[in-house]
Amino acid sequence: CLVAGADRAAALLVTGDLSELLALFLEASQRSGHKKKPKMRRKKTKYSKEKVLIFDKLVRPFILGRRGIEGLDLIAASPPDEVAEFVRVNKIEMAASDEVDQSATSANDSDEGEDDEEASNDNGTTEDQMWKFVIDFSIWYNEQDRKREEARIVTLHKVLASRFHKANPTIFSQELAAQVVANPKAPPPEAVSEKIRGIIDAEAPELGPASTEPFINDSQGKTCRFPDEKRLWFYIKDLKNNQIQHETEKMARVGRSRLREYSRVVHDGIDAVRAGLESAKRGSGMLLAHFSYLAGQLTGVFEPTDFGLKKMGEQKQSTVTRLQKGVPLHDAIASGKARILVAQGHGFGRKALHLTLEATSPGPVTVVVPKGAIFQHKGWVHKQNLLVISTVRALLDPAAPPKRIEIDAHCMNLSCGCSHGENMELTDWCFEEPKMISTQGQVWEWFQGKFKNAGKNKSPTPIKGIPGDYEEE
């Protein structure tokens, strides 16, 4: 059932629906013709109308009427004189119904284009075309049947492997696991082999019939049969590896969740405050959680100064003077003069940061997005945080529509993927290193160095007050 449910051909093979298999074969053959000419603008088929008619009026009834699904493997052995006689009789009916032009001029019809022209050059006699269809279908059928049997064998071995683990939950000691890692192709120890043979004897007959000779070959050319002790050992190891990977991923996921939650508690405050920050597209804790994670930490959070960051408002005097020509975006939001409606990242560099700002003050206000301002992602999207690289001013008027601005920004973390429209938040942090901020390469070099060296001289603040199994929804 699992095999048939995952593959249409397998399902038809199981139910024995030869008519539908013939239709699927024709459909698959026509699709294979598209792949040869992917640049065609107009959808075309591999077979001309005449060939499809030959298939429907000759090939289909020949296979259904003379052989049936029980002896399908014998179709290819049908003598040509049988085919010729079948064509002779049925072409009379086809001609009488005026469904096909026996001169094959339809193959050169201008509406069919290049595909039909190529088909007409390879037509041969009607008997030749029918014979080729029969051979092709027999080959296709046998390959689909081989795939179905291989999928059945793989599925049964996976089920046996699962039952083996349930019956022997402690079979993989640390010593055995280490041996498997050191030599994946080695056979199992005799004690394990004995248990494998035991579960085959006890469980395999219940699951499905054993394979009979001649055995099929799998997609890699290896003998494939059920039950197979060697193949079962492979899936037992594979299932164990998947379990270990799943447990490792879960531990990492829980660790990241705790890291983020603790950093938000410390830097964004209690729930009510955090909820207000989120509605204002603000937040600072996620950035430090992400940077601490990139520095190899899941049990503690580094301080902003460990990465060369300052809190907004602690900038140098020259920066403060520059901001006097408008209201810094942080202050405008805090004082209720403006708000961020949209903050999104789109790659890095030119126009990477997209902001939509709205005035909430009684009159117009000039808002300044300062050079060195940092925008973080809201959660564990593993994308690049953005650093504003040039000061931008925007005049906001409550009587006008919200203003959309696109700001140049550097990526801060080289190892993560580019933003692609994800929502971001304005942080309380800023970066003031004029020599570093001038080029993207220097920004990467700075922060990659901080991630590498963080913790060498100072340990992160340990996570406290967050449950050990905490995981975000």
pLDDT reported for residue 307:
94
Residue 37 has pLDDT above 60, yes or no: no
pLDDT reported for residue 66:
63
pLDDT classification of 308: cutoffs 50, 70, 90: very high
pLDDT reported for residue 353:
97
CB 452 within 8 Å of CB 360: no
Dump pLDDT digits (tens) for 62-92. Answer: 888 765 544 455 455 555 677 777 777 776 5
**Segment of 73-87, 119-133, 260-274 carrying the highest mean pLDDT:** 260-274
**DSSP code string of 18-73:** HHHHHHHHHHHHHHHHHHT-TT-SS---SS-HHHHHHIIIIIHHHHHHHTTGGGGG
- How far, in Å, CA of 430 to CA of 446, rounded? 14
**What Cα–Cα distance (Å) separates residue 247 from each residue in 41, 162, 378, 381?**
49, 17, 25, 20
Structure tokens at 226: 């059920």
Number of Cα atoms under 13 Å in the Cβ half of residue 258: 20
pLDDT reported for residue 396:
95
pLDDT classification of 11: cutoffs 50, 70, 90: confident
**Segment of 83-92, 204-213, 320-329, 349-358 carrying the highest mean pLDDT:** 349-358
**What Cα–Cα distance (Å) separates residue 198 from each residue in 163, 201, 202, 426, 450?**
12, 5, 6, 62, 56
pLDDT classification of 10: cutoffs 50, 70, 90: confident
Structure tokens at 289: 């959680």
- How far, in Å, CA of 197 to CA of 189, rounded? 12
* Range in 73-77, 293-297, 464-468 with the lowest mean pLDDT: 73-77
Q: In terms of DSSP H, where are the helices of 76-209?
A: 80-96, 113-121, 126-167, 174-182, 190-207
**Segment of 33-47, 266-280, 426-440 carrying the highest mean pLDDT:** 426-440
Residue 324 has pLDDT above 70, yes or no: no
pLDDT classification of 272: cutoffs 50, 70, 90: low
Average pLDDT, the chain: 82
* Range in 73-77, 196-200, 222-226, 463-467 with the lowest mean pLDDT: 73-77
pLDDT reported for residue 64:
82
Residue 463 has pLDDT above 50, yes or no: yes
**Segment of 58-67, 311-320, 376-385 carrying the highest mean pLDDT:** 376-385
Residue 44 has pLDDT above 80, yes or no: no
Dump pLDDT digits (tens) for 397-424. Answer: 999 999 999 999 999 999 899 999 999 9
- Residue among 277, 453, 248 nearest 378 (CA): 277
pLDDT reported for residue 118:
43
| 273-280: average pLDDT | 74
pLDDT reported for residue 318:
55
CB atoms within 10 A of CB 402: 15
pLDDT classification of 446: cutoffs 50, 70, 90: very high
pLDDT reported for residue 113:
46
- Ramachandran angles phi, psi of 132, nearest 5°: -65, -40
**What Cα–Cα distance (Å) separates residue 404 from each residue in 48, 390, 407, 411, 426?**
55, 17, 10, 21, 16
pLDDT reported for residue 259:
93
pLDDT classification of 369: cutoffs 50, 70, 90: very high
- How far, in Å, CA of 57 to CA of 130, rounded? 10
Which residues are 462's β-sheet partners? 300
- How far, in Å, CA of 54 to CA of 104, rounded? 11
| 354-376: average pLDDT | 94
Q: Which residue has the higher pLDDT, 15 or 136?
A: 136
Helix and strand counts by DSSP (H, E) for the chain: 17, 14
CB 396 within 8 Å of CB 357: yes
- Residue among 349, 347, 367 nearest 357 (CA): 367
| 86-103: average pLDDT | 59
- Ramachandran angles phi, psi of 374, nearest 5°: -125, 135
pLDDT classification of 6: cutoffs 50, 70, 90: low
| 440-446: average pLDDT | 93
pLDDT reported for residue 99:
47
